[in-house]
């Protein structure tokens, strides 16, 4: 009979193991989520900076084109200056040459500053690109390592599930019904009794029920929480006592 009494407890332990492994299998892939989020954020920032740099570069090109046109205009002005026939023409073309030179020089010095800033941004962007690449390869490595871990966990889960199914098959169908109903209602269906108190609901059991439990002849349930109950010292101490009784090979 003792074997019959221990079966629901074994089933509960197997169920617990299966649930624990199911949680682990679900949660393991989520462990890399913070790294994935960091990577996406950095990539987003990098894309934004690259966009700004592209804008700057197209501005630089258009400035350079303007300067080229202005140089062309300056050459015309210089030709006019050299061809000036009187003081009036000379003064006017001289002023025009001066103005154009000044405009080109202003634009060039502004472009130079922007070019320097763009060179700096490009260097920063390349450094960040390398950081993002390093993070990405870290993630890839972790994902590869995790896939091995996950496979191992899934194999463990399959084994635990088979063990649970076997444990379930051993419990009498009438007790399975009760087991499932109480587990659904109260979280778990089998509770130890310690010093006459049900550890599922903390009710002190009637003394005669404690005596019935002590005889270990039948499965009993708690009058308050309906869990299947057993005297903790009688069932749980047993494996330890058995291993103590076994002569050990250790010196
Ligand atoms: Zn109870």
- Ligand 1 mean position to 223 CA, how many Å? 7
| Domain co-membership, 147 together with 200 | no
Looking at 168, 196, 213, which one is the last position of a domain?
A: 168
| Per-residue pLDDT band at 1 (split at 50, 70, 90) | low
- Ligand 1 mean position to 196 CA, how many Å? 11
Kindly report, residue by residue over 210-228, the tens digit of the pLDDT: 999 999 999 999 999 999 9
| Domain co-membership, 162 together with 180 | no
3-state secondary structure of 216: coil
**CATH code for the domain of 148:** 1.10.287.1490
- State the pLDDT at residue 49: 93
Q: Is residue 152 a part of any domain in this protein?
A: yes
| Domain co-membership, 45 together with 125 | yes
- Ligand 1 mean position to 170 CA, how many Å? 24
| Domain co-membership, 53 together with 162 | yes
| Domain co-membership, 85 together with 133 | yes
- Can you tell me the distance from the alpha carbon of 70 to that of 223, in angstroms, rounded to the nearest whole number? 100
- Does residue 120 have a pLDDT over 70? yes
- State the pLDDT at residue 208: 94
- State the pLDDT at residue 73: 95
| Domain co-membership, 176 together with 159 | no
Mean pLDDT of 163-190: 96
Q: How many domains does the chain have?
A: 2
Looking at 134, 168, 202, which one is the last position of a domain?
A: 168
Kindly report, residue by residue over 33-92, the tens digit of the pLDDT: 999 999 999 999 999 999 999 999 999 999 999 999 999 999 999 999 999 899 999 999
Helix axes 33-82, 87-170, angle to 10 degrees: 170
- Ligand 1 mean position to 193 CA, how many Å? 9
| Domain co-membership, 164 together with 191 | no
- Ligand 1 mean position to 163 CA, how many Å? 27
- Ligand 1 mean position to 12 CA, how many Å? 16
- Ligand 1 mean position to 5 CA, how many Å? 17
- State the pLDDT at residue 241: 42
- Ligand 1 mean position to 97 CA, how many Å? 103
Choose between 5 and 87: higher pLDDT: 87
- State the pLDDT at residue 4: 83
Looking at 168, 186, 208, which one is the last position of a domain?
A: 168
- Ligand 1 mean position to 216 CA, how many Å? 18
Choose between 167 and 248: higher pLDDT: 167
- State the pLDDT at residue 2: 74
- Ligand 1 mean position to 232 CA, how many Å? 13
| Domain co-membership, 206 together with 152 | no
Check if the beta carbon of residue 235 is closer than 8 Å to that of residue 193.
no
pTM for the model? 0.65
Mean pLDDT of 180-196: 96
| Domain co-membership, 162 together with 178 | no
| Domain co-membership, 127 together with 200 | no
* Domain carrying residue 60: 25-168
- State the pLDDT at residue 237: 61
- State the pLDDT at residue 246: 41
Mean pLDDT of 190-209: 96
Check if the beta carbon of residue 7 is closer than 8 Å to that of residue 170.
yes
- Ligand 1 mean position to 167 CA, how many Å? 23
- Ligand 1 mean position to 16 CA, how many Å? 19
Q: Is residue 87 a part of any domain in this protein?
A: yes
Number of helices and strands in the chain (H, E): 7, 4
């Amino acid at each position: 009979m003792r074997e019959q009494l221990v079966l629901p407890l074994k089933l509960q332990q197997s169920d617990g193991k299966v649930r624990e492994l199911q949680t682990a299998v679900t949660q393991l892939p989520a462990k890399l989520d913070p790294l994935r989020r960091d990577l996406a954020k950095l990539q987003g920032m990098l894309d934004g900076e690259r966009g700004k740099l592209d804008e700057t570069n197209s501005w630089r090109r258009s400035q350079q084109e303007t300067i080229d046109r202005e140089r062309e205009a300056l050459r015309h002005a210089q030709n006019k200056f050299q061809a000036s026939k009187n003081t009036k023409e000379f003064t006017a073309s001289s002023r025009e040459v001066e103005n154009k030179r000044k405009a080109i020089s202003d634009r060039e010095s502004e472009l130079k500053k922007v070019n320097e800033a763009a060179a700096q941004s490009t260097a920063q962007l390349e450094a960040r690109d390398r950081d993002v690449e390093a993070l990405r390869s870290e993630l890839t490595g972790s994902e590869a390592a995790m896939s091995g871990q996950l496979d191992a966990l899934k194999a463990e889960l399959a084994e635990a599930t088979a063990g649970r199914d076997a444990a379930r098959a051993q419990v009498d169908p009438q007790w399975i019904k009760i087991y499932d109903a109480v587990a659904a209602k109260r979280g778990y269906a089998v509770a130890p009794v310690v010093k006459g108190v049900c550890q599922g609901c903390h009710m002190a059991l009637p003394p005669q029920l404690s005596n019935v439990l002590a005889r270990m002849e039948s499965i009993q349930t708690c009058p308050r929480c309906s869990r299947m109950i057993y005297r903790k010292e009688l069932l749980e101490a047993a494996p330890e006592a058995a291993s103590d009784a076994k002569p050990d090979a250790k010196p």
